Amino acid sequence: MTAEPQVQPAASDVLESVNPATGEVIGTVPITDEAGVRTAVARARTAQPGWAAMPLPERQRIMRRLVRQIVDQLDTLAALITRENGRPPLEALTSELLPAADLAMYYIRHARKMARDERLPLHLFPQRRSIVHYAPIGVVAVIAPWNYPFLLPFSEVFTALMAGNAVVFKPSELTPLCGQVIGDLFKAAGLPIDVLQIVQGDGRVGASLVQAGVGKVSFTGSTGTAKKILKLAAETLTPVLCELGGKDPMIVLDDANLDRAADAAVWGGFMNAGQTCAAVERIYVDKRVAQPFIAKVVERTKQLRIAQGVAGHEDDFGPMINERQRAIVDRHVADAREHGAHILTGGKRPDGRGGFFYEPTVLTDVPQDRPIMQEETFGPVLPISTFATDEEAVTLANDSVFGLSAYVFSENRQRAMHLARQLEAGSVLINNVIDSYGAPETPWGGVKQSGIGRIHWGVNGLREYMEPHHIMTERIRPLRKEMWWFPYSARGYRRFGALVRFLFGRGGR
């Protein structure tokens, strides 16, 4: 039996998928109404026990077929991501499809070891055997963003399914076709019917899903939306895993390799038109090397090849997702200029071009308290500021409500590690940017307002979608009753008091 991922809504309303490079409508999907959401969750709940009971080798075979489906359709999938999200084809391949296939194979290979019971030796009760058994949660809701419309939802849908759960998945309303194709891939791989459900729509559909009785919510998106989801989930104490926004700082020390740092800054700030939660959103460079570093960043930024329409293989830079996101960039850049910032390149919408393009922009002399240094811009903007000491760099980098990733560039490993340990971020990369998300062995998530919980992280990533059940039993035939059971007595009190003093008092263990 194969998956039937789409729940057909009763309403006739549809979502239009718009190519952000041209404004062209490239497809439609039906919107799922509230009754359809409840039906999807109910069907998933009914299907989940059979999926969880399926022998792990059979689940692994299905998932291997899934990876083959991705490989077989690589060019088609990359083209869809480019048309619906706007990013260049090479980015679609390297930043979405490659890490998705790698993550899947990683968990396929290691699932048996990760899912086995965990033994807990007991120091006080060596005669007892204690284990933790990890069981699927049941039905997991995955609510996904538009900026990585394949990788981010695929990662969580796959991991939740691999852990034995059923999934109800809501793609972003801006990239519904990428969401739909994820369902098609699982269906073609032979996922059992109803184990994966897809519901389509905007935030109202997401709210209905949170309130539909799921066992856990996995949300990737903005901090503002996360707060709304957490309020709804609090009514039923539904746990929520949140991977949220960032204002990721990059620190360039005076001993850094400036060519590598400049290349990293330009790619880390402008790939996907800056629409990456782990993008380089602000740069702090040592005053002693600020001038040559800034010159290198500006030179490389000016060399970026901006697509004339739909991005092709020779284009480096595509459009933003919509007018709303572009307007945020306009506002942040205008505010920075009004408060003394200097625009060295970019800073405007390109002339004579349709779609939602914005020129890659480099600014200097940006006050630390302005929105472009404090709020998530999520666009192709690199504001650069300077510092005099390493301590000042750490203070500036930590001056944010966000804490997703941070980046340190230095040729002195000990110095870089010292700074990295002081930065308030879920991940710190030294002499690199962004790509730790693609390593499934490492934890991904943020501190402060950048998230709750961690995904990936090897066995912990699988266990995010499982519940720990503790089981304890006797290794040998137990006594008729324990010494501390009823009846109580003064003699018993004296004996246990002496035991406590012997074990933990002066000279005890």
- Asked whether residue 203 falls in the same domain as residue 333, the answer is no
- Given CA atoms 393, 395, 396, 400 in this order, what sign does their dihedral have? positive
User: Would you state the pLDDT for residue 472?
Assistant: 95
pLDDT value, residue 42: 98
Instruction: Identify whether 124 is part of a domain.
Output: yes
DSSP secondary structure, 163-210, as one string: TT-EEEEE--TT-HHHHHHHHHHHHHHTPPTTSEEE---SHHHHHHHH
Q: Per the residue annotation, which of 243, 359, 376, 424 is the catalytic one?
A: 243
Q: Is residue 6, in this structure, part of any structural domain at all? A: no
One domain, residues 182 and 223: yes
Residue 406 and residue 291 share a domain:
yes
160 part of a folded domain? yes
Q: pLDDT digit string (tens) for 123-147?
A: 888 889 999 999 999 999 999 999 9
Residue 243 dihedral angles phi and psi, to the nearest 5°: -115, 110
Q: 224 and 302: one domain?
A: no
Of the chain, the percentage scoring pLDDT greater than 90 comes to: 92
pLDDT value for 266: 98
Residue 194: inside a domain:
yes
Residue with token string 């691999």: 162
Of the two residues 398 and 476, the one the predictor is more confident about is 398
| CATH number, residue 401 | 3.40.309.10
- Residue 348 inside a domain? The answer is yes
Query: What is residue 479's predicted lDDT score, i.e. its pLDDT?
Result: 82
Q: Considering the domain boundaries, does residue 64 fall inside one?
A: yes
Residue ranges making up the domain that contains 377: 249-433
Counting the structural domains of the chain, the total is 2
Residue 25 pairs in a beta bridge with: 18
Are residue 172 and residue 275 in the same domain, yes or no? Answer: no
Please indicate, yes or no, whether residues 81 and 172 belong to a single structural domain of this protein: yes
Of 304, 292, 291, 296, the residue nearest 263 (C-alpha): 296
243 is catalytic: yes
The pLDDT, as a whole number, for residue 476 is 86
User: Nearest Cα to 429, choosing from 267, 251, 247?
Assistant: 251
Residue predicted with more confidence, 304 or 12? 304
- Tokens for 457, please give them: 């992280």
DSSP for 436-457, please give it: GGG-TTSEE--SGGGEES-EES
Looking at the structure, do residues 238 and 254 belong to the same domain, yes or no? no
Q: What is the pLDDT of residues 231-283, one digit of tens each?
A: 999 999 999 999 999 999 999 999 999 999 999 999 999 999 999 999 999 99
Q: Read off the pLDDT of residues 358-373 as tens digits, 9 standing for 90 and up.
A: 999 999 999 999 999 9
Cα 33 to Cα 26: distance, rounded to the nearest angstrom: 23
pTM, whole model, 2 decimals? Answer: 0.95
**Does the residue 449 lie in any domain?**
no
Residue 8 Ramachandran class (φ > 0 left, ψ -120 to 50 alpha, else beta): beta
Residue 315: CA count within 13 A, CB half-sphere: 19
Residue 175: give its domain's CATH number: 3.40.605.10
**CA-CA distance, 176 to 489, in Å (whole number)?**
69
Q: Is residue 238 part of a domain?
A: yes
**Sign, Cα dihedral of 468, 243, 169, 154:** negative
User: Do 277 and 146 fall within a single domain?
Assistant: no
CB atoms within 10 A of CB 102: 14
